[in-house]
Amino acid sequence: MGVKVRKPRGYRAWCVVVDYKGQRKTTAIGSREAAERVRREIEVRLAVGGNELLEHRPPSQHTLAEYSKNWLAHVADERKPCTAGFYGQFLRLYVLPKFGQSTLDSIERRDVKEFISELGERGFAKNTIRLAVTTLRATLNGAVEDGLIDHNPAQRLGRFVKSEKPAREATSLKPNEVERLLAAAKNALELAEYALILTALRAGLREGEIAALEWGDIHFGDCDEGPDRYILVRRNYDRRWSRKMLTTKGKKPRRVDMSRELRRILLQLRDRKLVDAAGKGKADISNELVFPSQAGTPIEMNNFSERVFKPLVSRTGLRRIRFHDLRHTYGSLLIQAGASLAYIREQMGHSSIQVTVDIYGHLIPGANVGFVDKLDAMTCPQESARQPQETKSEESDEFKQILGNEWLGGRDSNPDTQIQSLQSYR
């Protein structure tokens, strides 16, 4: 009897190979860890006399539409709602219309390639095609792990769906444009609306983080000059899929330093909220939203952008920008202020400093030139008065004399450079 974990030729997943009483069966499992767990279970069952695992399994009769329902429920339990929502949307729009009525084991690689070609002929962007194939591949991976099919025909199709995405380059406002925008906002908007825009520009929070911000998350410190003034970013409002408060994108809280001006404006807004709460018999507003909608629910940032932000940008005469570009402006202004990329990464909650470099590294070309100019000052000696020509000639003659007498030695008629150099050691 033998039960082994292998990845045979032609399989994309790790398999359990069972050799028992002259019968042999190979079953695709998925990851190596999962295959090892299955191997141990099979060894126990075979040891007590069970051989039903070696019996022929009929082809899977599950259609992709039937299987995807249970698979999506599993994804919703283990992933963020936005992930499950993304898979559900692409299944409904692209995958199920093509493969919904096909049984899992009837989908072949040529069918997936045909699917890619059809989407391209219909004019979909390459990135949309890539995401549609990603959804199909993830669904079939689940079927492989559940033992319903032996391999995934949608694996390793990257060269067919490679999207030519442009380089990530942040769009941001210049300091004078920020000044114009804030001046217009202060004159035209209510205090809460002005405070929201200032929070985006001075703290760089994402839209969902702004919508989820509570008064208890803001630490004002003792005074303007004190360093203990910051915003604790702990939640993110998912407006698109679950409409619930979730963890931040990085899945952990972060501390964002608060500027003096932002502290002053948020204190004004808090004092007004405290007065309103006192009129309603409430003394604590720490669990209330800083920027709620008129109904008291988390603000819909899309509505705010259409109703407040875009008209403000138009009235100011600035170029068209998104509300999210205020976050990019925050990062670019920090760079211009001389902040390190490590500090910017912490403030903005990037997953790695490489993300910070990719997005904001292009914003400091002038500084790079300044750095290389400093190298000249460090390594190039100052030009001094020229020495008399006779001195230079003497130095040159002396060098020739030393080179001839002490290094090369006496020359002979043999032109071999190796032999000539060996003579110098005599």
pLDDT in tens, 127-164: 899 999 999 999 999 988 888 888 899 988 777 776 65
Backbone angles phi, psi at 297, to 5 degrees: -90, 170
Residue 281 has, within 13 A of its CA and on its CB side, a CA count of 0
Containing 15, the helix (H) or strand (E) segment is: strand 14-20
Residue 325 main-chain phi, psi, to 5 deg: -70, -15
For residue 392, what pLDDT is reported? 47
So what's the pLDDT on residue 384? 54
Structure tokens at 350: 């990037």
Query: 389 versus 74: which is more confidently predicted?
Result: 74
The DSSP bridge pattern shows strands 2-6 and 254-257 to be: unpaired
Looking at residue 58, what is its pLDDT?
53
CA distance 334 to 356: 12
Give the pLDDT confidence of 55-76 residue by residue, as tens digits. Answer: 545 555 789 999 999 899 888 8
To which H or E segment does residue 320 belong?
none
Instruction: Determine contact, residues 112/75, Cβ cutoff 8 Å.
Output: no
What residues does each domain of the chain span? 2-54, 64-161, 175-363
Q: Is 143 helix (H, G, I), strand (E, B) or coil?
A: helix
Alpha carbon distance 276, 289 (integer Å): 14
What the block records as the tokens of 376 is 């000249």
CA distance 315 to 202: 22
**From 3.40.50.720, 1.10.443.10, 1.10.287.3510, 2.40.110.10, which CATH number describes the 175-363 domain?**
1.10.443.10
Structure tokens belonging to residue 84: 């499950």
Helices assigned H by DSSP within 337-425: 341-348, 353-360, 365-379, 389-402, 417-423
Residue 402 pLDDT:
42
Residue with more model confidence, 256 or 362: 256
CATH number of 64-161: 1.10.150.130
